[in-house]
Amino acid sequence: MQQTLYISHSKRGKEHFYLDASARYRCIFPCTDTSDRIIKHCVHFKQLKHIRVSDYSTVIFHRPVYSNKLKRLIQHLENQGVNVIADFDDLLFSVEHALESPAYLSGQLSKQQALDMTQNYLKALNLFNKAQVSTEPLKQYIGQCSPKIRTQVTNNRIPAYWSYLSTEHQAHPIDKLKDKVIRYFPGTSHHSANFNSINICLNKILNNNSDIRLEVVGDINIPNDAFPKAQFKQTETVLFDELPALISSSWLTISPLENNIFNQCKSGLKAWESGIFGVPVISSSNPDMERLKCSGLSLTTNINDWEHLILNYKDANNYAASSKAIRQSSAQSVIASDTFKAANSVQLVQILSSNYGPNWLECLYNPTHKLHLKINEQLSQLSQLDNQALITSIDDNITSLNSKFKFHLKNYFEQSSKVRIKRKLLKLKNNPRLFVRDMLKNI
């Protein structure tokens, strides 16, 4: 039987790579797709010593960074007849655009480090004969940087189970007009510059419309006086499986991007993550977003358009039609044939996340994880139960499940804090001036 192995090179490491949105989309989510009947696993590059990589028919290296170990492994796999593929979802390999990368712009890398890192990605890319990328522009840039490589586009998609984690989207769209909350989900602190590009515009909208509120969910730097205090709120990043409740209760979500080549190559995931819940999106235009363009996805390259586009969704008829349109458009970005049944996916996720923590999905598909066999065994048992039996099981064990989830949640945020502290220290080392400037913003 054919088997595919996804290998993440995430800088978060073997313990935390599930926290990396890029690793989730390119390595873990594809494993949920059962439509081709191919067994799929995912691991971190540092876990390879625990498995026989040559047992797989296809091995996909996500964001590979050059090393002698990588070079030897690719040569070995090709000699064994294994199909070896490089995978990129950002413009990390173009030296010409190295200084447009979020890591450099956010101060995590110095100029020389950004250039060196890009060279390492390019050097790694050139070890391969095949590549897959998340967007059409990335395919074009691989063609320019490494013409010999055969490249195909494999768009990002999200598992169907995720869209059932909120019942909020079952409400009538018009109800959203009663509480107009615009939300922005930056994901990482890299997006401070993207958000700040529309600060003045958003401030004007809030000042002129007392019925609109703005909420930023994530760790980005925002000046204390940027928005009217009564209409603005910033919260910490939440668990990925907690996002549906926040997204689906939003009136609108936004995705501002600075106009540069790096951002033109990015995936349009912010569109369908909201769209599957019928929440309209306003975004800076980029090619991958254009795939989903409809009345519920407003795209622009002009910052002066944002006010009109936002206020346009105050109209009840337009909002209802737009909500329906983006829900339909986003369906193409959902993995329809995933591991979980729509009818009981909410209950399955509740049980598995309580028993195994927020990274339960990685445990499920990572054969090197100590919980891999146990979680697969439990999923097999739970999948045989109908929806009512699962609900009864949850009700009977609710105290225990809540206690376990709180324990795993505590560990999750402790791990996240450690990663964040390491990044802060790296910024201090690489760019002390920018580090001090960012710290002063928070005083």
Find the mean pLDDT for residues 172-189.
87
- The pLDDT score that the predictor gives to residue 392 is 78
Q: How far apart are CA 44 and CA 367, in angstroms?
A: 11
Q: What is the C-alpha end-to-end distance of the chain, expressed in Å? A: 58
Q: How far apart are CA 405 and CA 295, in angstroms?
A: 39
Find the mean pLDDT for residues 92-102.
90
Q: How far apart are CA 19 and CA 178, in angstroms?
A: 34
CA 133 to chain centre: 15
- The pLDDT score that the predictor gives to residue 442 is 39
Tens digits of residue pLDDT in 279-316 = 999 999 999 999 999 999 999 999 999 999 999 999 99
- The correct CATH number of 3-154 out of 3.40.50, 2.60.40, 1.10.3470, 1.20.120 is 3.40.50
Between β-strands 180-184 and 212-217, what pairing exists: parallel, antiparallel or unpaired?
parallel
DSSP 8-state class, residue 6: E
- The domain spans of the chain are 3-154, 160-335, 345-425
pTM (2 d.p.)? 0.89
Is the domain defined by 160-335 classed in CATH 3.40.50.2000? yes
- Banded pLDDT at 430 (limits 50, 70, 90): low
Q: Would the CATH topology of 3-154 be identical to that of 160-335?
A: yes
- The pLDDT score that the predictor gives to residue 428 is 47
Find the mean pLDDT for residues 354-365.
90
Find the mean pLDDT for residues 353-369.
92
